[in-house]
């Protein structure tokens, strides 16, 4: 299974062209679009989202990850292996948390180049063919050589910021649920937000936090949009009130 994790947006030709390349390269492998709307051009929040959501997929899944503001510059392309899953994408911190949390991760720099490589769409021209060839059973070493990824040691293990706003207006943080006890409150957008287990356990219009179905602390409002009601956006700081 190939899993797409990108900031391509839902609109436009980008995801479709990547799907066409994957189909041509690995015709029988199913492609699942996980996120097409990771915060555009922001590898740091994306890295926390990726670590939380990739863990849900079975071993041997291949995650094609493209949040690539440096496309066309000297930034490298990577294949990473972590906990049995393979990742393909730029060397810009996107895999920092996945690799940090893995038992014995590996990393390769992609040396393979396609016959034609555009300056601005490596997702289609470089990373998709590599992901397709991995899905067909080729080994990383056939296309890439061992390397250490660029490190981001100053990024925390858990990020007390909003990393994604979903369709319902729920605000996902970069904090894993095990960071905080159910008695903790979160300070965000000028509010003190208590825990609740489910939407139905909060009064309509009330903000609450809970551990979402992928293990991240998420701020929501029963029958309302947390982003608007609490004034939250990607990058908003969250404080834990013990």
Residues at the interface with its own copies (CB under 8 A)? 1, 3-4, 8-17, 19-20, 23-24, 27, 30, 32-37, 40-41, 53, 56-58, 69-73, 118-121, 124-125, 164, 166-168, 197-201, 210, 212-214, 223
Report the residue number, 108 or 186, with the smaller CB distance to its own copies: 186
Q: CB neighbours of 13 closer than 8 A, spacing ≥ 6?
A: none
Shortest distance, position 49 Cβ to its own copies, whole Å = 8
Of residues 178, 185, 187, 78, the one with CA closest to residue 134: 78
Torsion of CA 144, 150, 152, 153, to 10 degrees: 100
Report the residue number, 146 or 168, with the smaller CB distance to its own copies: 168
Report the residue number, 35 or 48, with the smaller CB distance to its own copies: 35
HSE-up of 199 (CA within 13 Å, CB side)? 13
Report the residue number, 200 or 203, with the smaller CB distance to its own copies: 200
Shortest distance, position 95 Cβ to its own copies, whole Å = 18
Report the residue number, 16 or 111, with the smaller CB distance to its own copies: 16
The distance in angstroms from the start CA to the end CA of the chain is: 41
Shortest distance, position 47 Cβ to its own copies, whole Å = 15
Shortest distance, position 212 Cβ to its own copies, whole Å = 6
Shortest distance, position 238 Cβ to its own copies, whole Å = 19
Shortest distance, position 143 Cβ to its own copies, whole Å = 21
DSSP bridge pairs for 33: 4
Report the residue number, 201 or 203, with the smaller CB distance to its own copies: 201
- Between 14-25 and 128-135, two packed helices, what is the crossing angle to 10 degrees? 30
238 class by beta-carbon count within 10 Å (0-12 exposed, 13-18 middle, 19+ buried)? buried
Of residues 123, 130, 137, the one with CA closest to residue 94: 123
How far lies 126's CA from each of 70, 121, 129, 133, 234, in Å?
14, 8, 6, 11, 29
């Amino acid at each position: 299974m190939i899993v797409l994790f990108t900031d391509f947006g839902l609109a436009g030709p980008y995801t479709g062209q990547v799907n066409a390349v994957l189909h041509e390269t690995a015709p029988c492998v199913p492609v699942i679009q996980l996120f097409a709307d990771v915060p555009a051009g922001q590898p740091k929040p994306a890295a926390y989202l990726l670590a939380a959501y990739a863990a849900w997929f079975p071993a041997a899944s291949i995650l094609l990850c493209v949040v690539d503001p440096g496309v066309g510059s000297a930034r490298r392309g990577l294949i990473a292996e972590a906990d049995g899953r393979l990742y393909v994408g730029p060397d810009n911190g996107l895999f920092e948390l996945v690799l940090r949390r893995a038992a014995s991760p590996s990393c390769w720099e992609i040396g393979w180049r396609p016959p034609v490589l555009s300056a601005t769409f490596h997702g289609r021209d470089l990373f998709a063919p590599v992901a397709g060839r991995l899905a067909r059973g080729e080994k990383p070493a056939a296309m890439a050589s061992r390397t250490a990824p660029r490190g981001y040691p100053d990024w925390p293990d858990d990020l007390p910021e909003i990393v994604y706003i979903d369709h319902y207006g729920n605000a996902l943080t970069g904090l894993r649920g095990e960071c905080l006890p159910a008695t903790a409150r979160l300070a965000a957008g000028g509010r003190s937000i208590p825990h609740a287990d489910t939407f139905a356990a909060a009064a309509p219009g009330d903000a609450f936090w809970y551990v979402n179905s992928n293990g991240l602390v998420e701020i929501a409002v029963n029958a309302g949009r947390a982003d608007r009601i609490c004034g939250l956006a990607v990058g908003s700081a969250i404080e834990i009130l013990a």
